[in-house]
Amino acid sequence: MAGSSHQRVNICFFLCLVGIVSASEYSTSSSSTTSSGTSSNYLLNPFFYAFKCPQALDTIKKQVTNAVSIEPRMGASLLRLHFHDCFVQVSRLLVNGCDASVLLVDTASFKGEQGALPNVNSLRGFGVIENIKAELERECPGVVSCADILAVAARDSVVALGGLGWPVSLGRRDSTTASLSGANSDLPAPFLDLNGLITAFQKKGFTVNEMVALSGAHTIGSGRCVLFRSRIYNESNIDPTYANLMRANCPEIGGDSNLSPIDITTKDVFDSAYYTNLINKKGLFHSDQQLFSGGLTASQVNVYSTFPLIFKFDFSNAMLKMSNLSPLTGVQGQIRKVCSSVN
């Protein structure tokens, strides 16, 4: 009995410690302005739709939960849509981070971001977002932005697959243009080495630790053969059995669009198995395995593998920070009626 009591004290101490650390990080990330951020962030707040459209969050959550229950992979797709939206910032074009520019299709005046190399034949989940938007337009016309739908849908997707939530501040507005060149230059590629990853995330104001935490998004979702073929056939820091398994669905020639789970252990669960896979040399992408290749991020990978709850807290805090990257607010941009086109 005494031993059991002592164990409970230790568990309580650990959870309290995690809470203290995470609370400190939350305070820092939510109140500071990143190098990519703007002072307009203060206009965002979690209660933005409390009176204008009080059912908005419930509507989004219901549709996201339903979509993920039908197809768990959709959770990763919606999370990725938000990430690929926020990371593209071209101030001279008023493409400002989390502004739903990624949802715009090509027009006569601009080429959209969906045709960028990191996005083409890859991004998905547009139908889910449009269905949510259509329902919200019926409930409260012209009120809820597509950018806010993306931000909330990403959070609800992570929760639906077992992750922790985070408070999403609301009030983003939608861009009236998009940037193909920005998407090609700003989004981190799966072929990057560790230094390249660090640089790409630092440009958006993220620390190395936050980069490692956000990489954990790869605990869900799938990757196309063309993006990891070189790794499974040419690299040495890969488990041979794992490489052979991946080769079965990714031949040296052809099959570019064949899909394999990024986290082969628990592909539809938001957990820390991704980091354990890296320790075992089972990272699918070159950029994944770079996090555990003898560099300065290896110790953090070990921590996340051993203490999944720390990863989940850190991921949530980093996502909170990412969701506030340079939003359009106030009278900037517009509230689109349909997410794929400007009004």
Tens-digit pLDDT profile for the chain (343 aa)?
Answer: 444 444 443 434 344 444 434 433 333 333 333 334 444 565 899 999 999 999 999 999 999 999 999 999 999 999 999 999 999 876 555 557 899 999 999 999 889 999 999 998 889 999 999 999 999 999 999 999 999 999 999 999 999 999 999 999 999 999 999 989 989 999 999 999 999 999 999 999 999 999 999 999 999 999 999 999 999 999 999 999 999 999 999 999 999 999 999 999 999 999 999 999 999 999 999 999 999 999 999 999 999 999 999 999 999 999 999 999 989 999 999 999 999 999 9
Domain holding 294, by residue range, is 210-315
DSSP 2-51: HHHHHHHHHHHHHHHHHHHHHHHHHHHHHHS--TT--GGGGG-BTTTTTT
State whether the Cα torsion 281-158-197-227 is positive or negative: positive
- Say whether 113 counts as a known binding-site residue: yes
- Say whether 239 counts as a known binding-site residue: no
Residue 224 lies in a domain: yes
Residue 220 lies in a domain: yes
Residue 296 lies in a domain: yes
Residue 282 lies in a domain: yes
| CATH number for the domain harbouring residue 264 | 1.10.420.10
Residue 176 lies in a domain: no
Residue 84 lies in a domain: no
Residue 196 lies in a domain: no
For this structure, is 84 an active site residue?
yes
Q: List the catalytic residue out of 6, 82, 84, 286.
A: 84
Residue 340 lies in a domain: no
Domain count, the chain: 1
- Say whether 286 counts as a known binding-site residue: no
